[in-house]
Structure 1
Amino acid sequence: MNNEGKKPRKNLSKPGKILINLLVTAVVGFIYFYMGLPAINLQSPDFYSFIFVLCLAYVASALVTSGFRDGKTSGKARVGDYFRFIKQQCLPVGIFMVLLVVVALVGQVISLPIFRAGAYRDLLTVEDGTFAQDISQISFDKIPTLDRESAEYLGDRQMGTLSDMVSQFEYSNDSTQINYQGRPVRVAPIDYADLIKWFTNRGEGLPAYVVVDMVTQEANVVRLQEGMKYSFSEPLNRNIMRHLRFQYPTYMFDTPQFEIDEEGQPWWIAPRVVKTIGLFGGTDIKGAVLCNAITGESTYYDIADVPTWVDNVYTPQLIMQQYDYHGTLVNGFINSVLGQRDVTVTTEGYNYIALNDDVYVYTGVTSANADQSNLGFLLSNQRTKETKFYSAPGATENAAKASAQGEVQDLGYTATFPLLLNIAGEPTYFIPLKDATSLVKSYAMVNVAQYQVVTVASSVAQCEQNYIRLLSDKGITEPEELPQTTAQGTVAEIRSAVLDGNTYYYVRLDGEEVFYSLSAAKNELAVILNVGDKVTIEHAATESGSSILEGYSLTIDGRAASNQADTGEDTAQPAA
């Protein structure tokens, strides 16, 4: 082949090569930053990965633009050119990469707990609390009766009832527990069903979010006047993580949580993560960015200034991690490994409890041996990180779950993770029991100190009443006055039934719709009760939606029968 007439290829100048190398590196860096979203922060491990990728991209580009393809250059000349190239361009980049690795390694070493045990121990301040004083008894109409799985099942099922949404959107299965207008609820955004649905609906945004009441088990889809433009289901610039990264390139964020304010406005709460020990150790929260899910407007607040309606700043995982440092390093690092004197750790799992319009995370505390007994438990405010330890030796959460499941083993119900309550002054595990479809069917209460003391009932109110009676029968507490009220009127209807060998009379008063159940064994006058009698009935406090309430005592025309008949005493008392 005749090469005559061909102009020799003109090699790029050195500045031109460098410019191309830098341009290629910038393109690779932009793609990596857009996809990986690393924080431009020396305390972020992702930042070192980002810089390392940039260095590799520059070296690879420089090898391509080195000009070693000239066929007229001899082999020895090529080798010489190669080493000169390494010296001139790659060597400085290589030295920078080595320094980067050294900084990361040194930063990791000086952040280890073995050198900074005291600093890790003091990440979390833990005060001792008095359970009966700090934890007030919660009304049964405010006790959450669902766990996360059950709540999300109900939320997903509610989406299926909306014909205009179900083909375009789906439930996100990423709910957050909050206090909303004084009630414990779980809120979750909806997502685009797929990429095509995103493309056709992105102009209007996500039109609704889902609220599941943790007490009544009602799920509602709340429609918005203007759709949410910023969420995790957005693939491009309006993806909430990408939106926050472009606004705050140097901040390290924990996973943003979806919340609504007291007016129902949707927000993303993005906790700002900092490292407080060495370069990479002592993870903590310094503040939070609140991003409006509709407009994308964001505001940063230091931790002391976060609005009170926000419920999720410190995650349960972070609080439990910090307590584990606090509990294991209480007497130094060596003791945490060898002697383990006074070493404590959190148990597996956690739950939430609403106190004073804040959400507290609950978890048990056990010894380092992780045996089947708890030493006590923690309650930590998820907005302020105020944490208290309550001494309450007793069963672990898993032991309590097993005790509750044993009461309904014939039904095959499974126990959810317990919620800690104050019932009659006693630390008590409250455990919803659900069937194979994740629907809650009954409730159990298990005494923390004596987990063989357990009651199961189909309603929260009934479970509470039975549990208080059992505490009194076992001598754990003094006889308590059960939550009750009084009904007076004329008997309009009487029905009877035999349950578990005991006769019960169901009495409806004139002008009312509910029936009062009266045990003949505890209320002998119920046997001679007639329609038209004027009566006074002491009964359980009204439970929302209940058509039958338990009656404790009955009075007919001044003659009374208390509910102590089962003790063998003569319960009839003359009227005062």
Structure 2
Amino acid sequence: MYRKRRAGSGKKGKLLAVLAVIVIAAVYYYVAIPAVNIHSSGFWMFLIALVVLGLLFYGGRKGIHSKEEVKSSKILKLGIGLVVVLVLVYFAGSILSSPIVNAKKYRNLMVPETGNFAEDIEQISYDQIPLLDKESAALLGNRKMGSMVDMVSQFEVSDLYSQINYQGRPVRVTPLVYASPIKWLTNMSDGIPAYITIDMATQNTELVKLDQGIKYSEAEYFNRNIYRHLRFKYPTYIFDQLSFEIDEEGTPYWVCPVKKFNIGLFGGQTIGRVVLCNAVTGECKDYKIKDCPTWVDRAYPADLLIELYNYHGTLINGFINSVLGQKGCLKTTEGYNYLAIDDDVWVYTGVTSVSGDRSNVGFVLMNQRTKETKYYEIPGAEEYSAMESAEGQVQNLGYKATFPLLLNIADEPTYFIALKDNAGLVKKYAMLNIQKYQNVAIGDTVQECEKKYLKMIKGSGAAVAGEDTKKITGEIRRMAQGVIDGNTHYYIVLEGHDDLIFDVPITDFLGIVKYDVGDRITIAYNEAEPANSVVSVEGDAGSAEGSVETDGGGSGDDTAAPGEEES
């Protein structure tokens, strides 16, 4: 009877030990939520921890405390051998997946095309230029939240601020979050009631209230936490950085890119699929990356695109060359920004040599939805050099430059920089030609800055054609001369258009001397006050179009000297 009770007690103890291991493993899985996938490092750690935990319970149950006892136990020796095998496979997989032995494969993960800047990047009007960086957007978002007295005590603004294209506008969007665990407990039944959108061009900030609250987010706990919700629906998927977006109807979604490993166990990561999770209902839709809906802007995280291009740039001539000789090796500069092109968001960053000089050999654009990459061989200023140049123009005011935005101004690659005061508020704007960054145009408004920049890159002050250029034809009614900064200008009024005065600088339109009162001409011009800036002049007497050209560098007379504020 005693032996039977002892045998029964032993079986019960083994069962309890097994149950304890299962419970601990289940708790660990629920908290750490590793993907059940051999390409996941977390899954290998989970397996190793599970085996070690089982061995500890077994050894403790058997009362094994010495090496000799361990060696005499077949189960312990088998378990230890399994741990060693798992560790060796993990480390071997890591090495065989690395660029050391797969340089060519890593280099080909991203293959950039050579782009044409003037054709690929259209010139946009000043009222569509994104003026705010993430920090400035956060200030506006917090200010908006502070004015919502019915919500401010219960909710805060998330720091996500994803930049997307929404209904053809550059917008940053971010959800609200619960102010504390207690606020979560009292509000969880209704969810998060709103999200914030900020128009990056107009700075219009809107708090969008929802008919039904957001119930799946990073601010939730337990099963409604977005990461846990995704893990239980897709236990084998390895997710990359999640992004909060809204579709064209304003419905909030979590865009959840799924990692794809192309080299060995852990190497060559790209994005293979995208899961779109409705933030309100939790409904998920799974797409291959090539079938991703066009309203999605951030399927490829910016950091991943930067990493892929750096693989291409540094491993162009093999791994050993990337470490020793570094012949032909290129890398992206520190920092990046976003461009909106054809309803997609592209990551912009400069490209420089690995030697770490202060100049760029070109720049690269990478599509966050398709991974399409275009390289532009335009040497010029590295972004932080351009920022320092802009800050030097207003150093007496102590303004700090934001990371540049790349724009096409009159077919010239141009850095656009916002200048902020100590409170983080944008006070002035700067435009610099990438290839001639020592010449800086500063303005209190974007329109003023653009006007000065156009005048500066033309050199002598002639206007440059843009999307707002107009044409008019008529007989010359009056002509008058004037001298500005030592240069002769003709001022023309056409018959029937007494309200329009056209400024024609003779240094750029020498042929204007062929015309007189009564001649019929066609003038292309940009509207301005008090005189309209002429782009071209044509008529019966010949063409006066652009007879004198400059190198576009200019003397910088229209920019503030270092330490002087633009009047």
CA distance in 2, matches of 1:451, 1:19: 74
Letter in 2 for 1:35: V
Matching of residue 323 in structure 1 with residue 309 in structure 2: yes
Match 2:465 to one of 481, 485, 498: 481
| 1:483 positional shift | 6.0
| 1:17 positional shift | 4.0
Letter in 2 for 1:300: D
Q: Which moved more, 1:9-18 or 1:316-325?
A: 9-18
Match 1:395 to one of 367, 378, 381: 381
Corresponding residue number in structure 1 for 2:118: 132
1:155-234 to structure 2, matched below 5 A, reads 155-234=141-220
CA distance in 1, matches of 2:73, 2:460: 85
Deviation per CA, 1:186-239: give whole Å up to 9, x if none.
000000000010001000000000001100112111000000000000021100
Q: Which moved more, 1:282-291 or 1:9-18?
A: 9-18
Taking structure 2 as the reference length, what is the TM-score of the superposition? 0.82
Corresponding residue number in structure 2 for 1:35: 31
Percent of aligned pairs with the same amino acid? 48
1:380 match: secondary structure = strand
Matching of residue 64 in structure 1 with residue 67 in structure 2: no
Corresponding residue number in structure 2 for 1:87: 73
Match 2:410 to one of 410, 424, 432: 424
Match 1:361 to one of 299, 323, 347: 347
Corresponding residue number in structure 2 for 1:46: 42
Letter in 1 for 2:28: Y
Corresponding residue number in structure 1 for 2:499: 535
- C-alpha distance 426-474 of structure 1, shift in aligned 2 (>3 A): farther
Corresponding residue number in structure 1 for 2:563: none
Alpha-carbon contact 1:483-1:541 (below 8 Å) kept: no
- C-alpha distance 143-554 of structure 1, shift in aligned 2 (>3 A): closer
Alpha-carbon contact 2:463-2:526 (below 8 Å) kept: no
Backbone CA RMSD of aligned residues: 3.1
| 1:393 positional shift | 0.3
Matching of residue 286 in structure 1 with residue 272 in structure 2: yes
1:406-425 to structure 2, matched below 5 A, reads 406-425=392-411
Deviation per CA, 1:18-60: give whole Å up to 9, x if none.
4323211111111111111111111111111111221222122
Number of residue equivalences: 499
- C-alpha distance 541-152 of structure 1, shift in aligned 2 (>3 A): farther
CA distance in 2, matches of 1:206, 1:215: 27
Alpha-carbon contact 1:378-1:387 (below 8 Å) kept: yes
Deviation per CA, 1:468-492: give whole Å up to 9, x if none.
10001179xx85236657899xxxx
Corresponding residue number in structure 2 for 1:382: 368
1:330 match: secondary structure = coil
Taking structure 1 as the reference length, what is the TM-score of the superposition? 0.81
- C-alpha distance 469-363 of structure 1, shift in aligned 2 (>3 A): same
Deviation per CA, 1:49-91: give whole Å up to 9, x if none.
11122122212222332267xxxxxxxxx9799447x614322
CA distance in 2, matches of 1:474, 1:260: 47
CA distance in 2, matches of 1:416, 1:9: 77
Alpha-carbon contact 1:11-1:67 (below 8 Å) kept: no
CA distance in 2, matches of 1:180, 1:171: 20
Matching of residue 552 in structure 1 with residue 531 in structure 2: yes
| 1:554 positional shift | 9.8
Letter in 2 for 1:292: N
CA distance in 1, matches of 2:241, 2:249: 24
| 1:550 positional shift | 3.9
CA distance in 2, matches of 1:371, 1:9: 80
Match 2:256 to one of 262, 267, 270: 270
